[in-house]
Amino acid sequence: MNRRTKKRMIRLGINLVIWAMFGTVGIFYLLHHPELREEIKKFFTTKQEKALPPDAGKPGTEKLIAPSDKQAPLVVKALKMTPIDFEDQLTIMGTIKGEHEVNLSFETEGTIKNFDVKEGEFVEKDQTIARLDSAELKLKFDHAQAKFDETAVDFQLAKQKLMNLQKLFQMGGASKDRVEEGRFEMKKIQKQMAAAQFEMQYSQKALDKISLNAPFAGVLLETNVNAGENITTNTLIGKFSLIDDVFAEVGVIERDLTKIKADQTCTLYVDAYPAQKFEGKVEVIAPMISGESRTATIKVRISNHDHKLLPGMFAKGAVVIYAQQHALIIPREAVVERGQGRFVYKLTSKTEAQLTAIESGYENLSYVLVDKGLQEGDFVVVNGLRDATEEKVVVEVKELSELSL
């Protein structure tokens, strides 16, 4: 054994002797001073009583006695289950379009004389929208008619000449060749007369088409030409629309497209009539996603017999994607997920909440519809217990309310 080890053993022995002396003195002091023993006993008894709840030891309170770190009731808010009529809506916005829009063009060429209707004005069926200058067309018609009249006279003369030649031929005063020349001349003039007649009729039809009339009752959306411009039958004069019914064309992003169904009800508003609600139904859902925006176009048909909605107006509103009457609804934060099941904490008394299984139906980001597990009049804890693990929890209800959407 080296010197260092011997020193350590000596110090250890000295320490043991000192602790033994103090312990002996302490025990001796307690044995000869009973008042000190009573003070120590009273101190520990008081500490133990403070660690128990006020109703400890009473019948039926055994399960509610919690460990010291969980003895205080949890402060919660509760919601009374009251059936309501529920609607979930998807916000939409888009542009008003006419039910039936057509391009306008003249059936003949010419020069625009004037427009009888301004853009945005409503017109009745067959009402004149624009007119061509008739002077040039009238000149063409007069020229064709004069040519026809002239050739008609020449034809009668050629016809009479042929008849005279045929008589002379029968009497031997004209050759057969002269008769054939007369017949050829008559047919030539007859063709010229027919061409002149066609040109005259064509000019007359052109005169009949110098007016551009409305194909149906509607609104002139736009004009693409001005008075004085020369046009052909291929020139786009403007656009015309039927507006007894209109469509709101709106874009729906890809993730929301499955929520849209035909005949869903929509409510729309326009800036021109901010206080008026326009209702319609989903009629057309585009079968494809277009553009970088990843949206699909849906068309909402709206009755517009008062013609307040005009093509081009900006519309915004909502489409009802789900509706249920007398539904029991809870906030999403009230739902407790346990494995594959869903639960809520339902109040069984003013101070106790019981974990209760539910079957949920439709839900969105804010609310869950309860199909089974709850009934009207139940109170459900909506916050304060989502992280609780016990099936029964002592609570202090801070606030009771009813759902208001």
> What does the pLDDT average to over 33-55?
51
Which residues, in sequence order, are bridge partners of residue 278? Answer: 268
Q: Is residue 54 predicted with pLDDT exceeding 80?
A: no
User: Strands 122-123 and 336-338: what pairing?
Assistant: unpaired
Both structure tokens of 251: 């874009």
Report phi then psi at 131, rounded to 5: -135, 150
Order of strands across the sheet that contains 211-213: 211-213, 128-132, 110-115, 230-231
Report phi then psi at 73, rounded to 5: -65, 150
Q: Is residue 234 predicted with pLDDT exceeding 60?
A: yes
Mean pLDDT of the chain: 84
Q: Distance between CA 256 and CA 260 in Å, rounded?
A: 7
How sure is the predictor about 404, in pLDDT bands with cuts at 50, 70 and 90?
low
Three-state DSSP class for residue 167: helix
> What does the pLDDT average to over 140-163?
91
Q: Is residue 32 predicted with pLDDT exceeding 70?
A: no
% of residues, the chain, pLDDT over 70:
82
Q: Distance between CA 402 and CA 84 in Å, rounded?
A: 10
Contact 111, 231 (CB under 8 A): yes
Q: Which residue has the higher pLDDT, 62 or 43?
A: 43
pLDDT of residue 351: 92
> What does the pLDDT average to over 106-135?
91
Q: Is residue 64 predicted with pLDDT exceeding 50?
A: no
Both structure tokens of 395: 């609570």
> What does the pLDDT average to over 133-141?
85
pLDDT of residue 194: 92
> What does the pLDDT average to over 242-271?
94
Q: Distance between CA 296 and CA 252 in Å, rounded?
A: 5
Q: Which of 61-75, 127-141, 312-326 has the lowest mean pLDDT?
A: 61-75
Single-letter amino acid, residue 95: T
Both structure tokens of 290: 């277009």
> What does the pLDDT average to over 326-335?
94
Q: So what's the architecture of 63-83+328-402 in CATH?
A: Beta Barrel (2.40)
How sure is the predictor about 68, in pLDDT bands with cuts at 50, 70 and 90?
very low
Q: Distance between CA 154 and CA 309 in Å, rounded?
A: 63
Q: Which residue bears the tokens 């500490």?
A: 47
Sequential DSSP letters for 50-72: HTS-TTTTSTT-GGG---GGG-S
% of residues, the chain, pLDDT over 90:
56
How sure is the predictor about 291, in pLDDT bands with cuts at 50, 70 and 90?
confident
Q: Distance between CA 380 and CA 397 in Å, rounded?
A: 11
Longest dimension (CA), the chain: 186
pLDDT digit string (tens) for 337-349? 988 899 999 999 9
Q: Which residue has the higher pLDDT, 206 or 332?
A: 332
Q: Which residue has the higher pLDDT, 234 or 33?
A: 234
Q: Is residue 31 predicted with pLDDT exceeding 50?
A: yes
Contact 325, 365 (CB under 8 A): no
Give the angle 365-367-370 at the CA atoms, nearest 5°.
135
pLDDT of residue 45: 52
pLDDT of residue 25: 52
pTM of this prediction exceeds 0.75: no
Crossing angle between the packed helical segments 3-31 and 34-50, to the nearest 10 degrees: 90
> What does the pLDDT average to over 272-296?
90
Please give the C-alpha separations between residue 217 and each of 122, 129, 374, in angstroms, as whole numbers: 7, 12, 57
Q: Is residue 71 predicted with pLDDT exceeding 80?
A: no
Q: Distance between CA 379 and CA 354 in Å, rounded?
A: 11
User: Strands 74-80 and 392-402: what pairing?
Assistant: parallel
Q: Distance between CA 107 and CA 212 in Å, rounded?
A: 8
How sure is the predictor about 10, in pLDDT bands with cuts at 50, 70 and 90?
low
pLDDT digit string (tens) for 357-384? 999 999 999 999 999 999 999 999 998 8
In sequence order, which ranges of 51-133 are alpha helices (DSSP H)? none
pLDDT of residue 376: 95
Domain boundaries, the chain: 3-50, 63-83+328-402
Report phi then psi at 187, rounded to 5: -65, -35
> What does the pLDDT average to over 265-285?
95
CA-atom Rg of the chain in angstroms: 51
Both structure tokens of 36: 């000190």
